[in-house]
Structures are given as structure tokens and as C-alpha cells.
Structure 1
Amino acid sequence: MSKILVVGSINMDLVTRVSKAPKTGETVLGEDFKQIPGGKGANQAVAMARLGSDVAMIGMVGEDSFGDTLLYAIKKDGVDISGIGRCSSKSTGIATIVVDDDANNSIIVVSGANFEMKKEDIDKNIKLYEDSKIVVHQLETPLDIVEYSLKVSKALGKTTILNPAPAKSMSDEIIKNVDYLIPNETELEILSGMPVKTKEDILLACRKMMEKGVKKLIVTLGSKGAIYVDSEGSKEFGVYKVEAVDTTAAGDSFIGGFTAAFSEGKPVEEAMDFAAKVGAITVTREGAQTSLPTLDEVRNFKGVV
């Protein structure tokens, strides 16, 4: 299998379960608390590794106990961590996550060491780029690092994937170097500046992004599935029906599943179906990396669309 490089964030998730999320000024009693490895970049890298992909990661953690724990967890799952640095001036990134009984979540991220990544961290790990076929990015690291990494990737002839989350405006310099853009509806609306209330709206917004240089898009629609769009047209994909427990990392697992299958040369239809299975299993479990399935679990999954 071709090697995948993930350039992105590494966080410790501080997860509190509640029957209902508190309103402004309200105090509620929590039902459970856990510390779980997370961060969009690390989630996606671990998802791919558990699915059998050969994955390396570039990122940054602090010189603290959270950093130690996260590096151990990522390495244990088989990710090459040689490109992950340690920062002495900032703590490891954290995400405070509240999950209610309906499996909805709200998240506050303190980026910490993730935002201390420099261009030199890309340059000194150039061999990881050279050895990879696909380079995956998100937006939990500085935008100038995302832009620089995408330029380096394209200069080396790599396929680039960008998950534009958390949603924010980006320069055309970033967008033009993206082969596969994988946003949800909210992210697509922010990027395109267009409404996305209907399928027709989504397709028009996708066309606008393609005019800026994006080659292909996969728009994830939560319980409504996903839409794949390229220059030849579009195709809708459903979701597998499961009893959701926690939607944390659902998007990350979908991207991990798609990239893992795509890296093996699977056609888009198969890669999208595989990603849907990975996402379906993920939401039936608690946490970020703790919820990500193995390849055998996906192969044995007997869901219904």
C-alpha cells in the first residue's frame, strides 16, 4: 500500500458526558469523564493506520505528560511519529468535549503546541513527503503551514487532501493546491460564500470551489450521507443505519476510511462505501481515537444503508 502522510493537530480530548448540555449560566451534573487521545490530524492518521495503511505524521506536542501519552498512543497504533516535534513554550493541545444523551457534542479547542509548527518543521521532514503518495491536511494548525505544506506536496507531485475543519476562510493559494476537498455543509458554505440548503445549492458551491482549482469534492452530510463531485458530475451516497452513541471523530474516521481505500487504488464508489462503514462503526462508540475501528471490524460490519 502507498504511504500516506498526515500533517495536522494532536490533542488530548477531555470528554464529559451529560444528559443534556448546559445553557448559558446553567450548571449541570456530568455523568462521566475521560481523557482520550484526539486532534483531527492524529484521529485521521490513527484511523488510517488501524485500517492497514502505512502512515506517517507531522505535528507538534508540548513537553508535558499529555504529549508523552499522545505520542505513545499514536506510535502504538502503528503511525510513524518521527515527524512529530516537542514544543517547550506551549502545552500540548487540548479539546474540551461535552457529549449529551442524543450523541450530540460541543467542543472547545485550545491549540497550544499545534500552533507552534513552523515551515522548518516541514523542511526537515521533506523525506516523509518524498516517501508518500498522499498528503492529508486539516485546519487545526496555522494556515501558513497548511499553505506551505500543500505547495511542497504539489511540487513533489503528491495527491493532496484537505479537510477544511474547523471552518474558516482560506486563501486561493491554499485552495488551488487541493486535489480532494472534504468539507461538511457548514464548511462548504463558509468556503464558497454560498448557501447550501439544497442539493442544487451544494453542487453550485462545489462548482465554485472547482473554479478555484479544487479537483474533486466530497461533501459530508451527517445522517444524510455524502455527495461526491468532480468535473464529470456528482453522485450521492447514503449512510449505514446504526444507533449513534457519540459523533466525535465521525468526520475524521470517514476521511481516514476514504483515504485508506483510495490509497489502495479502489474506485471512488468503493472508497466512499468503505468510509461510510468506518464512520458508522465509529459513532457507535465513545471518544475520538478510542472509537476508531480496525480493518477486520470494517470487513465484518453488516450494516444496512
Structure 2
Amino acid sequence: MTRVTILGSINVDTILQIPRLPKPGETLAMSGKQVAGGGKGANQAIAAARANAQTAFIGKVGADANGKMMLDALQAAGIDITQITTSNYADTGEAFILLDDNGQNSILVDGGTNQEIKIGDIDTAQATIAAADFLIAEFETPLTTTLAAFRYAKSVGVTTILNPAPAKTELDPELLTLTDLIVPNETESETLTGIKVTDETSMNAAATALLQQGVSAVIITVGAKGAYYQTKTEHGFVKAFKVDTIDTTAAGDTFIGALSSQLNKDLSNLDTAVRFANKASSLTVQKLGAQPSIPHLSEILADGDIQKA
């Protein structure tokens, strides 16, 4: 069983269903409202755990009802929550998701306790990191903390996976040299490289630029089209599964969590792991909400389209 540790965000999502984004000054009636667990880190952890990875989490919640709700949800998913601490100074993170009739979303985030994760939390969690095959992080928590976590992970032979989302223009170059696998979407890739991703040629150029910045391997996800992967010795494009999309929330997070559950520690099976992750993502977008839509291993394998990597 693959062992995955996530350093990341924990949010409670409020999903507001609307026909389209309102124009400035316009009032629109909602067609629905739901509350569900979210946060990029928590989504990725649940995706990994439901795909049968042994999963642990490093994070922070508030001493509030949302914090209790999320701790209960993560524990129910079989995730080790020993390294999730409770803050008395900030509320649990929240996201407000505007979901239109086409299944596309716009998201507003209040980071809350996610911004309170400190280097000291990494020091406390060293045993949890060292016990993992993979350490995953994204950009909804402080970058200084992620840098410290990746430094330690590399020192003990743990493979690092970075999801550079939400996109940031200012990035410590050392972080990329400590990253074994980076997984941006096309927008995040362009932010990091300045290369607009439009086709496989531009994907190759962007991935090459990231390799030159020090990462060992790259996967660029391009939504309903699929995902492009590249290392120093191989590259390829894995097409997405064609489905009717209801809600794209957590599709990228599901991809990363599911991917990590299938990857070899040396990243030698990227092609088959990406195909598995594409399948998991295709199931997520067919349901409403972030964590409620993330599939279990049995669902991913149910129709025989794929096998475990």
C-alpha cells in the first residue's frame, strides 16, 4: 500500500448554484446551495485515501463547528489526523463556490487557519513525513512552511509532489529544486514558465522549462482534454475520459490524490498512473461538490476501463 502525507489546506465549501456569473451591479437568484468539505489539501487526501493509499495529513483547523466537521470527515475517510492541530486564533478556512449551469466554477477563499501552519508544525510532523512514500503540498498554505517540509522530505528520501495552485508569480527557486513531480494545470504552468499552453508542442516547451528549473518530472493537466507528462527521458499525452460534466470542483485535487495512490516511488509508471487519475477525475466532475464527489477505488475500477497501476 502506498503511503502518502499531505501538507495542505482544510476548508468548508459553500456551493452557490447560479445560472451564470452576475454582471457588475446585477442581482441573480440562486437555484441551490450546499455546504460540503473542501480545501485543496483535504480534497487530495480524501482522494488518495479513497483510492486505497495509507494517508496522513498535516494541517490546522479552528476551534469551531467547521473544524470539528472537517476533522470528523477526514477521520471517517481513514486519514491519520494526528498532525492536524487546532488554533484558538483563527477560524477554519472557508471557500465560497459560484457554480454555473455549465458546471464551471469561480471560487472565493478565506484561508483562515490554513495560513497559520508554521515551520514548527513541520518539525513536530517529521516522523509522519519520514514514514511516507510521497509528500504532497499546494499553495493554499504558507510557502515557507512548504519549503521546510520539502527540505526535510528530501533529506529522508521521501518523493515530493507539488501542486502549484492557486497560481503564484513569486516563488522561491529552491522549492522547484526540491520538487520531484510538479502538477500544474495550463494556467499555473503559464504563470510559472511564461509559455501559453495550447497544444502538445507548447506543453512540451512548458514542461521542458520546468525541468530546467530543477524539477524531476512534470504533469500538466488540461481539463477535459487530459494530461501531458514529461521527464528527462520520456513524455506522453493521456487523453481524458469523455463524460457529462456537472461540477468541476475538486477535479484537479482528485487527479493528484488518485495519482499518488498509484505512483511508483521512482515515478517510473507515470503513464498508467495518469490514466488512473484521469478516470478518478472523470467521476468527480459528474457529481456536485468537492469531497462528496470524490470516488472510491471500487468506483474507479468498476467498469473495467482501467486497472490499478
Corresponding residue for residue 40 of structure 2: 40
The alpha-carbon deviation at position 266 of structure 1 amounts to 7.7
Corresponding residue for residue 256 of structure 1: 257
Gapped regions of structure 2 (runs ≥ 5):
none
Give yes or no for contact 1:93–1:111 (8 Å, CA) kept in 2.
Answer: yes
Corresponding residue for residue 278 of structure 1: 280
Aligned equivalents of 1:21, 1:303: Cα separation in 2: 36
The alpha-carbon deviation at position 72 of structure 1 amounts to 0.3
The alpha-carbon deviation at position 25 of structure 1 amounts to 1.5
Give yes or no for contact 2:2–2:261 (8 Å, CA) kept in 1.
Answer: no
Aligned equivalents of 1:263, 1:136: Cα separation in 2: 14
Distance 1:223 1:107, change over 3 A: same
Aligned equivalents of 1:24, 1:215: Cα separation in 2: 44
Give yes or no for contact 2:11–2:93 (8 Å, CA) kept in 1.
Answer: yes
Q: Equivalent pairs: percent with the same residue?
A: 38
Give runs of aligned pairs for residues 31-70 of structure 1, distance below 5 A: 31-70=31-70
Corresponding residue for residue 128 of structure 1: 128
The Cα offsets for residues 246-269 of structure 1, whole Å up to 9 and x where unpaired, read as 000000001111111115888222
Aligned equivalents of 1:59, 1:194: Cα separation in 2: 33
The secondary structure found in structure 2 opposite 1:232 is coil
The alpha-carbon deviation at position 271 of structure 1 amounts to 0.7
Corresponding residue for residue 201 of structure 2: 200
Corresponding residue for residue 182 of structure 2: 181
Give runs of aligned pairs for residues 231-246 of structure 1, distance below 5 A: 231-246=232-247
Corresponding residue for residue 81 of structure 2: 81
Aligned equivalents of 1:181, 1:110: Cα separation in 2: 25
Distance 1:45 1:72, change over 3 A: same
Aligned equivalents of 2:84, 2:268: Cα separation in 1: 29
The two structures have a TM-score, normalised by structure 1, of 0.97
Distance 1:100 1:303, change over 3 A: farther
Give yes or no for contact 1:219–1:227 (8 Å, CA) kept in 2.
Answer: yes
The secondary structure found in structure 1 opposite 2:228 is strand
Give yes or no for contact 1:277–1:301 (8 Å, CA) kept in 2.
Answer: no
Give yes or no for contact 1:58–1:84 (8 Å, CA) kept in 2.
Answer: yes
Gapped regions of structure 1 (runs ≥ 5):
none
Which residue identity is paired with 1:224? K
Corresponding residue for residue 9 of structure 2: 9
The two structures have a TM-score, normalised by structure 2, of 0.95
Give yes or no for contact 1:249–1:282 (8 Å, CA) kept in 2.
Answer: yes
Give runs of aligned pairs for residues 284-295 of structure 1, distance below 5 A: 284-295=286-297
Distance 1:28 1:284, change over 3 A: same
CA RMSD of aligned residues (A): 1.5
Which residue identity is paired with 1:207? T
Aligned equivalents of 1:48, 1:223: Cα separation in 2: 21
Say how many residue pairs are matched: 304
Aligned equivalents of 2:115, 2:156: Cα separation in 1: 25
Aligned equivalents of 1:301, 1:79: Cα separation in 2: 27
Give runs of aligned pairs for residues 144-223 of structure 1, distance below 5 A: 144-169=144-169, 170-223=171-224
Aligned equivalents of 2:197, 2:141: Cα separation in 1: 26
Give yes or no for contact 1:240–1:303 (8 Å, CA) kept in 2.
Answer: no
The Cα offsets for residues 157-214 of structure 1, whole Å up to 9 and x where unpaired, read as 1100000000002111111100000000100111112332332222112111111110
